[in-house]
Structure 1
Amino acid sequence: MDFELSDEQKQLKKTVQDFAENEILPVAKEYDRKEKYPHDIVEKAAENGMLGAQIPIEYGGAGYDVLDTAIIVEELFAADPGIGFCLTASGFGTEAIIEFGTEDQKEEYLEPIATGDAISGAAISEPDTGSDVSSVSTRAEKDGDEYVINGNKMWISNGTVGDYFVVLCKTDPDAEGRYNGFSQIIVEADRDGFEADKITGKLGIRASDTAELILDDVRVPEENLIGTEGMGFLQQMQFFDATRTGVAAQAVGIAKGAAERALEYAQEREQFGRPIGDFQAIQHKLADMHTETEAARNLTYKSAWSVDNSDGQLTKLASMAKEFASRVAVDTANEAVQIHGGSGYVDDFDVERFYRDAKITQIYEGTTEIQKMIIARELQGKGMT
C-alpha cells in the first residue's frame, strides 16, 4: 500500500492552500456574520480554475476524481467551512447531468459552472421529506411536450443564487415499487412559477445560501428530463457514495482547521507562567484531536479511492467515513473551543465558527443515524431495502 500523495496531488493541495490563505481567510468572518454569499470569491476561484472539479475536461471542468476532489474540499474547509461550501457546492446536481444527461444538456449546463458563469443546485429534500427520499411528493405531470411541476423543496443549497436546479419529482404516482416512478428534471430559476425564499439564522455555514423552493405550475420542456423517466430515484442513489465521501472530506477539513488553531493557541496562550500547551491536560486534548483527524482523513481517502475504483465495499466505506469524520469534526471543534476557554466562545477566534459549522456534517447527505443503518445493512449483506 502507498499512502503518499502523487506530485500532482501535492501541488493541487498547495494551490488550494495558497488560494484559501490569500482569498478566504481575510474575509471569512465577515461573510459569516452577514450571512452573505461570496460571489466575488466564487469569481476569483473560477479565474483560478478551481470550480467544476468533477466536470469533465471536455466541458470546461478539471476532470478530477473523487480523491482529488476530497483533497480540495479538505483544504477549503480547513480555511473556512462556509465559503469552502460555496466553492465546492457551486456545481450541485451536475453529477446527474454528467452521468445521465444528453450531449446537449452537458454542453448547455456544465461549462457555465466551470467558468463561474452559472451556479446549480440539487433539489431533493422537502418540508416533510428528509432522510426518506422515496417519500418525495413534488409532482411533474406531462402536458404535451412539457412537464408541469408543482411542489416545495426545503433546505436547498444555492437556492436564491442558483441558475438552475436538478429537481427530483414524482412523474408516475401509480408506479409499482417504492423506488420507481421518480425522475430528475432540470428547472431553470427564471421559469414562471419558480420562487426561492432564503433561509436565515442557520447555526453554521452561514456564508452558504440555503432556501425553500416553491414550484407552482412551472413548465419546462421534455428535453429537460435527465436520463430515463421513472428512474430518477435509482439514479440519485448512485451518487451518495461520492457525495457522502465529500461530506466526510468537509468534516476532515473542519477537524484539521480546528485542531491546527487549537495547537497554535496552546503554544501562545500562557497561564501560571508558561504556555498552556505545556500542561498534560491540554497535551492530551491536542494528541486526541490530531490523531482522530488523521484517522478520519485516512478513512475518507480510502472511501474516495473505493468510489474511484468501483470497489465492492464503497457504500459501506462512504457511510463509515461520513459518520466517523463528522463525529471527529464535532468533537475536535468542541475541544478547540475548550482549549481557547472564554476566548473560544466569541467570534474573535475562528474556533467559535468551526464549532457551529461542524454540526451540519452530521445532518446533510444522510444523518448519522441513517449512516449507521446503512453500515449495519451492508455488513449483513442486505443493501437498500
Structure 2
Amino acid sequence: MTSARAAAAELGTFLGNPREPGGPFSYRETVAAEERNELPEGAIHAIRSWGFQEFLVPVEQGGRFGNLEELFCVTRTVAQRNLTVAVMFGSALLGANPVWLWGSDEQKKALAAEILRGRLTCFGVSEADHGSDLMSSATTVRHTGGHLVLSGAKWPVGNATRARFVTTFARAEEGRRFSLLLVDKAELPPGTWAQLPAVRTAGLRGHDLSGIVYDEAPIPASSVIGHEGTGLAQTLKALQITRTAIAALSIGTMDAAIRIALRYAHDRELYGRPVYDLPVIRDTLLKAHVDLLIGECVAVPVSRALSVAPSRLSLWSSVVKFFVPVLAEEVVASMAAVLGARGYLREGVADGIFQKLQRDHAIASVFEGTTHVNLHGVAHQLPHVLRRASREATAEEAAGRRRLLEAVFCMTRDAPRWEPDGSRLQLSNRGHDEITTGWDEAERHLGELAAAPDPLPVLPELRGLVGEFRERSTACWSSVTAERDWDSGSVRAQSVATEHAVYHAAASCLLTWQVNRKDLGGEFAAGGWLVLCLERLLQRLDPSRQLSAHHAAPLERVVLDSLEKDGEFSLHSFRI
C-alpha cells in the first residue's frame, strides 16, 4: 500500500463510519449542524487532532505534504463525509501554496507554524466587480517610505474571517503590475481594515465565506511574496495545484452518492422485489461507478504529476478541473434519480445527507476557474499541442515519454517528494501532452500483447476501441489545424476542448491499465473495467453507444464486495 493510500485508510478509520450516529462526522450530526448553518460540533477539533493540517505544510517546513497524491487521498476521505470541512482546508491550501512556492524563509516559517497549530489561511484574489478577471483587480498597493500601503476589497474569500494570514492579490498604483502579499491581520492597525459579513450560500453552510477590506493599511515591504510585479503569473501557477486537488472533492462526493444510492436500492422494495433488481436502476448504478473509475484515472495521475512533471500542469490541471466536477455532477444527478423522492428529503435515507451532497458539490465546477475558464485554457493550448504532435519523436523523446507516463500513472509506488519551486510550474505546456498523443503507440502495444502466448480475451475489444479513439481524435484535431484563425474563446473552441477532455480521459484510463496491469493482476489486469470505461466515454461522443453487458458482472462483484466491507469505490478495490 502506498503512503497516500495508508494515510487515507488511517483517516477513514479515525473518522468512522458516517452512517453510524454519534461522531462529529456522522451523517446525522452533519445534517443537524447544516440545519443551523454550522459545522458539526467537534468536527474541526477532531480532524485537527488527527493532524489533517499537517498535509497542507511541506515536509521541509515540518509538515506531511510529501506529494499531492497524499493530500488528494486524505481530502477525498473527508469529502466523502463532509464536503464543507474539506473545502475549508482547501481554501487554506490555496492561500498557502504561493508562500511554499515563492515565499521567503521568514514567511514560510511563520505560515507553517500557524497552520500546524490548526489555524487557517486564505487567498484574497476575487473581487465583487471583477470575479476571475484578474487584470481588472482594483485592490492597490503602493510604496510609502519604508513600507507598503494596501487599499481595496477582496470578496468572496474562503476562510477570510477565521484566517490570520491573507495572501492578497494587488495591483501597483502606477501601471498594471500585480503582486502577491502575505498580510498578517494581527499586525494591521485598527481602523485600516475590516471584515465583510459572511455570505449566505445554497451549500457549504457553516463555511467561512466572507471578505476583507483594506483602507490605507500599512504592511511591511517584506510582505511581498517573491518579487514585485510577478503576482499574476504566481496566481495562475498556484491555481494549477488546487485545480487538481478539487477533483478529490468530486470523487469523494461520487463515492458517497453512489454508496447511499446502492444501499438504498438493495434495501428498498418495489413491486415485490428490491429496487436494485430493476434493470434501469442497475444500469444507472453501474454507469455511475464506471464514471467514478474514469474520474480517478483522470485526476490521480495529474496529482502525481506535480512531483514528476510540474511543467505539464498548465494543461492537465485545466482538463481535470473541467472534466471531473462535471462528471461528478452527472453522477450525483443520476443517483438522485435512483433515490427518487428520498433524495430530496432532509431526513430519512442516510439521515438526509444526500440533499447536502447535491448542494455542496455544486460549487466544485465554479471555484478555481469556472468550467468555461478551464475550457478556454485547454482550447488555447490545443494548436501548440497538435503542432508538436505532428512531428516525428526521436528515440530519446519516446523513451522519455514512457518514463514520464510510468511515473505519473503508477498506482503501486509513492509519488516522488514534491519540492516546492515556482519556477518548475509553467504558464503553458509548450506543446507537450504525453497523455493524449500516444494512440498509435497504444495500438502497437496492444498488438504485441495480442501476439504473445495466452493473450487476454479482452484484447480484441480493446484494440477496436483504441482504434476508434485514434480515428475520432485525429479527425477532431485535423479540424483544429485546418482553422487559420483559431479563437480559443469561441463556442467552437469550447466544443473542441470538451471533446479533447474525453480523449484525455480515455488515454488516462488506458495508461492506468497499461502501467499497472502486471503489478495488480486479477480482475484489474483482465481489463473488463477498462472496456466499460472506454465505452462509457464514447457515449459522451455518441449517446447511441451501449456498454458491453458481459463485463458488468465482474465489476458488479467488486463493487458489492467493497460496499459490504466499507471499502472505497476505487480501482484499488480490485485488490480486495
CA contact (8 A) 1:59 1:110 kept: yes
From the superposition, tell whether residues 126 and 200 of structure 1 become closer, same or farther in structure 2 (CA, over 3 Å).
Answer: closer
What are the Cα deviations for residues 248-286 of structure 1, in whole angstroms up to 9, with x where unaligned?
Answer: 121111111111111111111111111111101111110
- Structure 1 residue 311, shift from structure 2 partner: 5.0
How far apart, in 2, do the equivalents of 1:337 and 1:37 lie? 24
Structure 2 equivalent of residue 308 of structure 1: 307
Partner amino acid for 1:156? V
User: Secondary structure of 1:67's partner?
Assistant: helix
CA distance in 2, matches of 1:277, 1:92: 41
The whole-number CA distance in structure 1 between the counterparts of 2:156 and 2:8 is 30
Change (3 A) 1:372 1:242: same
Matches within 5 A, 1:321-340: 321-340=320-339
**Unaligned stretches of 5+ residues in structure 1:** 1-5, 176-180
CA distance 1:59–1:111, shift in 2 (3 Å): farther
Return the offset for 1:207: 2.6
Corresponding residue for residue 242 of structure 1 = 241
1:178 maps to what in 2? none
SS class of match (1:52)? helix
**Distance apart, 1:206 and its partner CA:** 1.6
Residues 128/12 of structure 1: CA separation in 2 closer, same or farther (3 Å cut): same
- TM-score by length of structure 1 reads 0.91
CA contact (8 A) 1:51 1:88 kept: no
Q: Map 1:41-120 to 2 at 5 A.
A: 41-116=43-118, 118-120=119-121
Q: 1:381 Cα deviation (Å)?
A: 2.0
Q: How many Å separate the matches in 2 of 1:120 and 1:87?
A: 9
Mapped to 2, the partners of 1:169 and 1:346 lie a distance apart of: 44
1:323 Cα deviation (Å)?
A: 1.0
Map of 1:183 onto structure 2: 179
Instruction: Give the Å deviation of 1:371.
Output: 1.1
Contact in 2 for aligned 1:59/1:106 (Cα 8 Å):
yes
Q: How many residues align?
A: 374
1:42 touches 1:86 (CA, 8 Å); kept in 2?
no
RCO higher in structure (CA 8 A, sep ≥6): 1
Cα deviation, 1:350-370, whole Å, max 9, x if unaligned, reads 111111112101100000011
Tell me the SS of whatever aligns to 2:363: helix
1:366 maps to which residue? Answer: 369
Deviating 4+ runs (over 3 angstroms): 37-40, 87-92, 382-385
Deviation (angstroms), 1:91: 4.0
Amino acid across the alignment from 2:13: D
| Change in 2 beyond 3 A, CA 1:61/1:306 | same
Conserved? CA contact 1:95–1:239, under 8 Å: yes
Code of the residue aligned with 1:9 in structure 2: it is: A
Residues 150-176 of structure 1 deviation map (CA, whole Å, 9 limit, x = unaligned): 11111100011111100000125325x
Aligned 1:22-33 pairs, distance under 5 A: 22-26=23-27, 27-33=29-35
- The one-letter code sitting in structure 2 at the alignment partner of 1:265 is Y
Gaps of 5+ in 2: 17-22, 386-426, 429-487, 489-576
Tell me, in whole angstroms, the C-alpha distance in 1 between the residues paired with 2:40 and 2:96: 21
Output the CA distance in 1 between the equivalents of 2:366 and 2:258: 22
Q: Which residue of 2 aligns with 1:138?
A: 139
Q: Distance in 2 between matches of 1:205 and 1:124?
A: 20
Bigger helix share: 2
CA contact (8 A) 2:65 2:71 kept: no
Residue 16 (structure 1) aligned to one of 11, 35, 40: 11
Partner of 2:56: helix, strand, or coil? coil
RMSD between superposed Cα atoms in Å:
1.9
The two structures have a TM-score, normalised by structure 2, of 0.62
Comparing 191-200 and 235-244, the one that deviates more: 191-200
Equivalent residue number for residue 202 of structure 2: 203
CA distance in 2, matches of 1:312, 1:162: 31
Equivalent-residue separation in structure 1 for 2:132 and 2:382 (angstroms)? 20
- Show CA shifts across 1:198-222 (max 9, x none): 3343111223110122111111111
In structure 1, what is the Cα distance between the partners aligned to 2:78 and 2:124? 24
Please state how far the C-alpha of 1:331 moved relative to its aligned partner. 1.2
* Cα distance in 2 for residues equivalent to 1:74 and 1:163: 26
**How far off is 1:140 after superposition?**
0.8
- 8 Å CA contact 2:164–2:184 kept in 1: the answer is yes
For 2:84 and 2:56, how far apart are their aligned partners in 1? 20
In the TM superposition, what is the alpha-carbon distance from 1:34 to its structure 2 partner? 2.2
| Displacement after TM superposition at 1:312 (Å) | 4.7
CA distance in 2, matches of 1:15, 1:223: 40
| Structure with the largest fraction of strand | 1
- Percent identity between matched residues is 21
1:259 aligns with 2:254: no
**Structure 1 CA distance, aligned partners of 2:114 and 2:258?**
36
Aligned partner of 1:214 in structure 2 is 213
1:155 corresponding residue in structure 2:
156
Contact 2:148–2:218 under 8 Å retained in 1: yes
